[in-house]
Amino acid sequence: MYNLIKSEWYKLRKDRSFRTLAMIMVALSIFWPLYWHFDNRLDGDPLFTGLESFQRALSSNTLIIKVSLCILAGFFISSEYSTGVMKNMATSGNSRMKIFTAKLCVYSWGVILLSLLFPVFNMVISTILSGFGAIDNQSAALLVLRSMLFTILFSASFASVAALFAITFTTSGKTISTSIIFFLSIDVIFTSIGEYLPIFETAYEYSVFTLVGDIGSTSPSNTELWRLTVVPILTFFGCGLAGCWVYKRKEIK
């Protein structure tokens, strides 16, 4: 298992899509706070502190990550069907469950790294320009740490969903297009169905797709903290098991 993870990590580091996405994230993370800093300065508006930039970045980060993880899933996982790598791995003597688990772990780690770039760089650059800032009634550092931990959990849960698509389809194009459509339309689908079947609306309210909007909450209750912790973990393991099941039964040509 260790050798499989080591091999997947090497492939991730060499993957062009991962490198390109990381460079785009860094570029956006540098441009965004600089733009708002000088724009506010010219207009005479208050400058964004590092904490404020971090909170603003979290609200935009979800969409960025959804698109990025779909692209990475297509090129890092699905493309190995067409190149023959997946067939070679399946006949290497390792169990398919171990192979998929290694891919999911490394792929999730890659998504987590990408998910942290935008908010962290925004916070650091704005802190250099305008100071870190403060928040009433609680530690700002605690808020940042909690939000980053939840970002990690939800990024991993989204990665497990995308990995399920990637292991199901045999081409990167199908994986990217299908998963992007899914992530961008799932809110509308559940909301529309929920108007007729309340159980879908309830399931959606307690899913990662809804709860992700609360990861930057300044004063969550104990119940909300419990949901924000447990739901993404259950989603990760649930989709991970589903991915193992699909991969074990998939005919690889």
Q: Given pLDDT bands bounded at 50, 70 and 90, which one contains residue 248?
A: confident
Q: Which of 16-25, 46-55, 224-233 has the lowest mean pLDDT?
A: 46-55
User: Tell me, what's the pLDDT at 219?
Assistant: 77
- Determine the Cα–Cα distance for residues 35 and 85; give it in Å rounded to an integer: 43
User: Tell me, what's the pLDDT at 89?
Assistant: 74
Is residue 113 predicted with pLDDT exceeding 90? yes
Q: Given pLDDT bands bounded at 50, 70 and 90, which one contains residue 56?
A: confident
Q: Which of 46-55, 129-138, 217-226 has the lowest mean pLDDT?
A: 129-138
Burial of 116 (0-12, 13-18, 19+ CB in 10 A): middle
Is residue 134 predicted with pLDDT exceeding 80? no
Instruction: Identify residue 71 by its one-letter amino acid code.
Output: I
Q: How far is CA 154 from the centre of its chain?
A: 6
Mean pLDDT of 109-131: 90
Number of Cβ within a 10 Å radius of residue 111: 27
Determine contact, residues 173/128, Cβ cutoff 8 Å: no
Mean pLDDT of 95-123: 89
Q: Given pLDDT bands bounded at 50, 70 and 90, which one contains residue 195?
A: confident
Q: Given pLDDT bands bounded at 50, 70 and 90, which one contains residue 161?
A: very high
Nearest to 104 by CA among 164, 58, 151, 20: 164
